[in-house]
Structure 1
Amino acid sequence: MTEEADFSEQITDGKNKSNVRCQFCNCLMLKAQEGTYNQEEVDVPLMTQKQDRTADSLNSEPLKDFWLVKDMMTFENIGFSNTVDGRKFLVCADCERGPVGYHDLSTRHCYLALKRVVHKDT
């Protein structure tokens, strides 16, 4: 189980208080007030995988804090990766690191994991 993180300082009126950026290259992914806070536990592949894994055995971790983005065009900069079980994984469009969340193909909603990004305006 993952350790609990407190993201309350990042949330204002249910939205992201500040810009959301890639933790590796500082690329702007989502502007402030564009994502809606959503809690739902979902297994998301780890950003670093062991070399001896197979395609069917991705190492993952349960994440529960996400920014819900209902329209993918809301993002400033996001990339889409592999599709697994009805989900496309979200990656930074600049450095291609991730996954930082997922895109649900059935609802067409995107979920950006708060734990996988940084929140800052500059």
Structure 2
Amino acid sequence: MTEEADFSALIAEGKNNTNVRCQYCNSLMLKAHEGVYSKEEVEVPLMMQKQDRTADSLNTEPLQDFWLVKDMMTFENIGFSNTVDGRKFLVCADCERGPVGYHDLATRHCYLALKRVVHKEA
């Protein structure tokens, strides 16, 4: 179970009201008003994996607040990583840190985790 975060200040009319950037290199990932707020709980691999894990296991955490992007061409800057269980993980295309969300191969929709990015203009 995840802690409840209040992201209401980031949402205007169901969309992101500011630009979305990488928390590490500040690269612009998504412009304001391009993502639709979506709440659903999904297990996403941790950005930093523990050293003692086995080669075929990923340490994950449940995330539940996402920006839904229906067309991957909407992103300003995003990369794709490994595919696991019908999902490709999203990473910053500049610094390759992530995953910051996932791409559902069945629906072709992308989900950018609010907890894994920063929301600011510059």
* Distance in structure 1 (CA, Å) of the matches to 2:89 and 2:53: 18
Aligned to 1:110: 110
Query: Which range moves more in the overlay, 7-16 or 50-59?
Result: 50-59
TM-score (ref. length: structure 1): 0.98
* Distance in structure 1 (CA, Å) of the matches to 2:56 and 2:83: 12
Aligned to 1:77: 77
- In the TM superposition, 1:15-30 aligns within 5 A as 15-30=15-30
| Percent of aligned positions that are identical | 84
Number of residues of Structure 1 aligned to a counterpart in Structure 2: 122
* Distance in structure 1 (CA, Å) of the matches to 2:105 and 2:23: 25
Gaps in structure 2 of 5+ consecutive residues: none
* Distance in structure 1 (CA, Å) of the matches to 2:76 and 2:119: 14
- In the TM superposition, 1:51-90 aligns within 5 A as 51-90=51-90
* Distance in structure 2 (CA, Å) of the matches to 1:44 and 1:119: 20
Q: Per the alignment, in what secondary structure is the counterpart of residue 65 of structure 2?
A: strand
The residue type paired with residue 111 of structure 2 is Y
The residue type paired with residue 5 of structure 1 is A
- In the TM superposition, 1:86-97 aligns within 5 A as 86-97=86-97
Which structure 1 residue ranges, 4+ long, deviate > 2 Å from structure 2? Answer: none
* Distance in structure 1 (CA, Å) of the matches to 2:41 and 2:55: 22
Aligned to 1:33: 33
Q: CA RMSD in A?
A: 0.7
TM-score (ref. length: structure 2): 0.98
User: Could you tell me how far 1:53 is from its partner in structure 2?
Assistant: 1.6
Q: Per the alignment, in what secondary structure is the counterpart of residue 81 of structure 1?
A: strand
User: Could you tell me how far 1:54 is from its partner in structure 2?
Assistant: 2.4
Gaps in structure 1 of 5+ consecutive residues: none
